[in-house]
Amino acid sequence: MSVIYSGISGEELAQQSIIVRNPWNDDVIAEISIDSRERVQQKLSVAWGFRAGLTREARREVLSRARSLLCQRKMALARLASTESGLSLQDTLGELDCVSTHLGVAADAALFSTDAMGSYGDASLPDSPQVLSLSRALNGVIAAMTPFNHPLSHVLDKVALAIATNNRIVLKPSSKTPLCARALHALLVEAGMPEQMFTLVNCADSLFADIAAQHHGVDLVSFSGSRAAAREIVFRVPTQRLVVDTSSSNALIVCADTDVKAAASLAAHGAFSHSGQGFGAVKWVLVDRRCHDEFVRHLVNEARQWRSGDPLDPQVRIGTMIDAASAAEIEQRIAISLALGATCVIGNQRQGASLSATVLTRVTPDMPVVTRETFGPVAPVMAFTDIEEAIELASNTRPGLNASLFTQDEALIARYPTVMACASHLTPASYSPLPF
């Protein structure tokens, strides 16, 4: 067992250290020492006092080297991420592809300005535009908190553009997945990043937010994570200095005129990838009653292809959830929904932190698999009669990150311009959240 002195976050931590465990077999991976309030303050002050002075070309070189090192060590990093997060190798390898893309975009962004902060968009599809906006640099430090569900990309999304724009960032990753952040920090240092540009801290989210909010050297506090945790942060940090990115229930609407089989394939990918824990994942599927049964048949066939098991098995598509307690909570939520009248047509098999791909039908909006964010590989399906009903149902759920509409009707797309319209020929594409 190794002892590590940088890199955790998560919940309120009263103990002096935290044990990091492999969700698949509960083996101890590492014991991590927690930073005291004074130590966190010291790390923020050191970051505030540091000035990198890297030229645009130097920053681009650091990020380009980091991208090269990441590609060379792709499998080792993927195995590390799968071991501590429980995500399948297929998921973590895919996430590293996104991280590589983001490093490339950040490397190019470094050339736009000697001192700027910015945001960018992904161009995974040939016709998808890239967007880069730049403004004046932050004078102070970025204090960032990242969640467990994307242990590699969430860290790099924030750190890469901080480096590109000559900002300093102090980051506290989730207590469930600290080792990925530590590995990425070491990789960036090896690539030539001054170590003080990116600092890891070990403490509770609430403590870090309190200290960052009061520290004179912090210009921006960035939080990515659950809605419950975000509410705690909002009460501690002034809104003009706060960026919050939360997850929630996201609806997918399938109309009868679309390619139902293709829609089912994309729905399965959205609901089951990243063990159903991805930001922007499909949490609820509303299907036109005229094609409901056909859609469910295709979705069940898709679910059979999403094998669950050991995250390090290359053939496994669904690893585990982040821990057994989380899987048990989703299992209980499914059980309550079944008692209220839902039907499980496939899945709902739990072993420890592992939960098989699950499809529920006869779902109603008042069931807990809909009213609460079901952060697991579950696809609740509900039939609707007309599109207005579907839009209203989707709109009345808790706010989500996105909603998707599968249709071939261009007039319908024009009526709902804020809903992402998906033609049948589209394939799953990753997205890039805004930095910081």
pLDDT digits (tens, 9 = 90+) for 277-327: 988 789 999 999 999 999 999 999 999 999 999 999 999 999 999 999 999
Checking DSSP bridges between strand 350-351 and strand 358-361, what pairing results, if any? unpaired
The answer, yes or no, to whether residue 128 has pLDDT greater than 70, is: no
List the structure tokens of 96.
């590293």
Residue-level pLDDT at 112: 77
The single residue listed with the structure tokens 């009061």 is 214
d(CA 28, CA 180): 16
Is the per-residue pLDDT at 217 higher than 80? Answer: yes
Question: Could you give the CA distance from residue 48 to residue 40 in angstroms, rounded to a whole number?
Answer: 12
- Mean pLDDT taken over the chain: 85
Q: Quick one: pLDDT band at residue 155, thresholds 50, 70, 90?
A: very high
Selected residue with higher pLDDT from 34 and 431: 34
User: In the structure encoding, which two tokens stand for residue 141, read together?
Assistant: 């430090």
Higher pLDDT, 6 or 365: 365
**Per-residue confidence band for 238, with pLDDT thresholds at 50, 70 and 90:** confident
> Percentage of the chain with pLDDT > 90?
62
Give the whole-angstrom CA distance, residue 135 versus residue 131.
Answer: 14
Mean predicted confidence (pLDDT) in 211-234: 85
**Residue 273 reports pLDDT greater than 80:** yes
Q: Which part of the chain is CATH 3.40.309.10?
A: 251-422
Which secondary structure element, helix H or strand E, spans residue 197, and what is its range? none
The bridge status of strand 169-172 relative to strand 132-136 is: unpaired
The predicted pLDDT at position 118 comes to 47
Q: How far is CA 73 from CA 68, 88, 129, in A?
A: 9, 17, 29
**Packed helices 37-49 and 205-214: angle between N→C axes, nearest 10 degrees:** 50
Please list the residues that pair with 36 across neighbouring strands: none
Q: Report the CATH superfamily, name and number, of domain 251-422.
A: Aldehyde Dehydrogenase; Chain A, domain 2 (3.40.309.10)
Pairing assessment for the beta strands 354-355 and 28-33 based on DSSP bridges = unpaired
Which tokens in the block code for residue 411?
């007039």
pLDDT of residue 396: 75
Predicted pLDDT of residue 52: 83
Q: Where is 424: in which H helix or E strand?
A: none
Bridge partners of 133, per DSSP, are: 119
- pLDDT (mean) for 47-68: 94
List the structure tokens of 61.
């070189």
Please state the CATH superfamily assignment of the domain spanning residues 2-246 in this structure.
Answer: Aldehyde Dehydrogenase; Chain A, domain 1 (3.40.605.10)
Placement of tokens 């700027």 in the chain: 116
Q: What is the pLDDT of residues 164-207, one digit of tens each?
A: 988 999 999 999 999 999 999 999 999 999 999 999 999 888 89
The enclosing H or E element of 403 equals strand 403-406
Element (H, E) at 191: none
Dist. CA 118–CA 137, nearest whole Å: 9
Quote the CA–CA distance of 157 and 106 in Å, as a whole number. 9
Q: Work out the number of other CB atoms within 10 angstroms of the CB of residue 379.
A: 32
Q: Which residues pair with 359 in a beta bridge?
A: 346, 379
Which residue would you say has higher pLDDT here, 224 or 79? 79
User: Which amino acid does the sequence have at 130?
Assistant: Q
Residue 364 has pLDDT above 80, yes or no: yes
Residues 6+ apart with CB under 8 A from 44: 141, 143, 170, 211, 212, 215, 217, 218
- C-alpha separations of 19 from 8, 133, 187, 204, 284 in Å: 11, 41, 24, 14, 34
Q: What is the location of CATH 3.40.605.10 in the chain?
A: 2-246
Coil, helix or strand at residue 249: coil
Would the pLDDT of 61 be above 50?
Answer: yes
> In the block, which residue shows the tokens 């309550």?
336
131: pLDDT confidence band, cut at 50, 70 and 90?
Answer: very low
pLDDT for 426 beyond 50: no
Q: Given the structure tokens 């000697």, which residue do they identify?
A: 114
| Number of C-beta neighbours around residue 127 at 10 A | 5
Percent of the chain beyond pLDDT 70?
Answer: 84
- Let me know: does 13 contact 34? Beta carbons within 8 Å: yes
The token duo for 153 is: 């990309």
Instruction: Decide: 97 and 90 in contact? Cβ < 8 Å.
Output: no
**How far is 374 from 369, CA to CA, in rounded Å?**
6
List of E strands, 277-371: 284-288, 343-346, 350-351, 354-355, 358-361
Compute the average pLDDT of residues 148-172. Answer: 93
Give the amino acid at 49.
G
